[in-house]
Amino acid sequence: MARAELLTFADAVFEKEGKQIPYRTVSLTQTGRSTNETTPVLFVMKDAPRPASKRKPSKKSGKTNGSRPAAAQTQPGTKERAASGAGSDQQRIEQALRAWRLSEAKRRRVPAFRIFGDRALVSIAATAPRNEAELLAVQGIGAGIVKKYGVHIFRLIAASR
């Protein structure tokens, strides 16, 4: 609703017994006040992620150190996608995004996940968004990422097809 400019947020602090307690206020904008059930409003809704299972990793016998085997260090789901023969376009897009994300992270001197996470990368490759609204609908992608990297992402997707 904030992206649709119907709400504004403001951070504030109050003091109680010598402690500062931060809170956030939400208020309707003028547009939000004038909106009714017949007013068209553009909303971009993201699908809620499935809750992650909280199972403990199983211990394998015969291991003396705590390191993971080399096969377990690959990205989650990459073997399954490769084995199932999932769309070659999707694989090319994912590889191109990974390479670009790594070079961008090195250029900015930050870890690659700070550009965007693996889940977002895989989702971008799967959906191949063509505009900002579709990219914003990807879980893990916000307005800041679209503003900074949207053009690069769209070019990579177009070049990988």
Give the pLDDT score at 62. 52
Top pLDDT among 153 and 18 is at: 153
Superfamily per CATH, domain 76-161:
HRDC domain (1.10.150.80)
Q: What residue spans in the chain does CATH classification 1.10.150.80 cover?
A: 76-161
Give the pLDDT score at 56. 67
Give the tens place of pLDDT for each residue, 21-69: 888 888 888 877 887 777 776 666 666 666 666 666 666 655 555 444 4
Helix (H, G, I), strand (E, B) or coil at 126: helix
d(CA 89, CA 97): 12
C-beta of residue 138 within 8 angstroms of C-beta of residue 104: no
Give the tens place of pLDDT for each residue, 132-143: 999 999 988 999
What average pLDDT does the segment 103-107 reach? 93
What average pLDDT does the segment 144-159 reach? 92
Question: pTM higher than 0.85 for the full model?
Answer: no
- Report the helix count and the strand count for the chain, using DSSP H and E: 6, 2
- What is the longest distance spanned by two Cα atoms in the chain? 68
Of 44, 19, 46, 41, which Cα lies nearest the Cα of 28? 41
Give the pLDDT score at 49. 64
